[in-house]
Structure 1
């Protein structure tokens, strides 16, 4: 079942954009670290190093800020990312479920990638190589 092209209301995005990003970023890195410990994020991620990654969910007004300290993912407070990915929540879900290729969305200008190109390519390639968790495989199979 394809992901519908739904958008969060602009009023919600304005509200979320005013909230501190640290709690959402901390929750996100907690999930990343849990997935890594369980083997869902196989491989080494220390190539991120002290560089900062931002993921912007445009229609939600949310920016997730994180990095990697050589052992684990860590939330960040820095405003200046080394690499920034931005798209709508629906497009990020399409990428996650492998309904859309990130390159296609990039060339359609629905996925914004700004900053360190080499880091962006390393992240994209690493994410493309990951096996979907079982619960997502079940969603895709439907």
Structure 2
């Protein structure tokens, strides 16, 4: 999946807050469906940064008092990958380990936290979420 250059320019100009709010809102909406047994105590008060290497932007979030929230704190762990590679992970077309060993996914900072998150990504079936995306969007983007 190649991101159109015009979309990259738009994304690079956006402030971090709107996409970060959208991501944490989505995580909170789907948390019980995707991870019914997970209490995320190991993530409590920790900050994760998802950096999109191909557009030079990212977002940070944390888990506090039972909810995902945006964060401006220094990240404990930073994941770096292209937007396409994050999409590949979500669609389970490649596992995070493969992308990591191909140097398409980087993990910097707290290694233990990074491994827990990587393992969670690898074990998560995101497909129920794609079913909720309107048909027109799924057809347009091949979801």
TM-aligned CA deviation for residue 8 of structure 1:
4.2
| Runs of 4+ residues over 6 Å off in structure 1 | none
Give the distance between the partners of 1:40 and 1:112, measured in 2 at CA: 24
SS of aligned partner of 2:34? coil
Looking at structure 1, the residues matched to 102 and 3 of structure 2 have their Cα atoms a distance apart, in angstroms, of 17
Q: 1:16 to 1:135 in 2, by over 3 A?
A: closer
Deviation at 1:16, TM superposition (A): 3.2
Distance in 2, matches of 1:95 and 1:30, equals 20
The residue number in structure 2 matching 1:126 is 120
Unaligned runs of 5+ residues in structure 2 are 132-137
Provide TM-score, normalisation by structure 1: 0.80
Give 1:85's match in structure 2, choosing from 62, 79, 82: 79
**Cα shift at 1:89:** 1.1
Q: Which residue of 1 aligns with 2:59?
A: 64
1:53 equivalent in structure 2: 48
Give the TM-score taking structure 2 as reference length.
0.80
Structure 1 residue matching 2:97: 3-state secondary structure: helix
Aligned partner of 1:95 in structure 2 is 89
CA RMSD of aligned residues (A): 2.4
Please name the residue that 1:22 is paired with. 17
Indicate which of 26, 34, 48 corresponds to 1:31: 26
Q: Deviations over 1:38-63 (max 9, x none)?
A: x2232111211211100012223331
Helix, strand or coil at the partner of 1:74: strand
Unaligned ranges ≥5, structure 1: none
Rounded Cα–Cα distance in structure 2 between residues aligned with 1:61 and 1:14? 10
Higher RCO (Cα < 8 Å, 6 or more apart): 1
Correspondence for 1:115: 109
> CA contact under 8 A between 2:50 and 2:80: conserved in structure 1?
yes
Aligned residues: 133
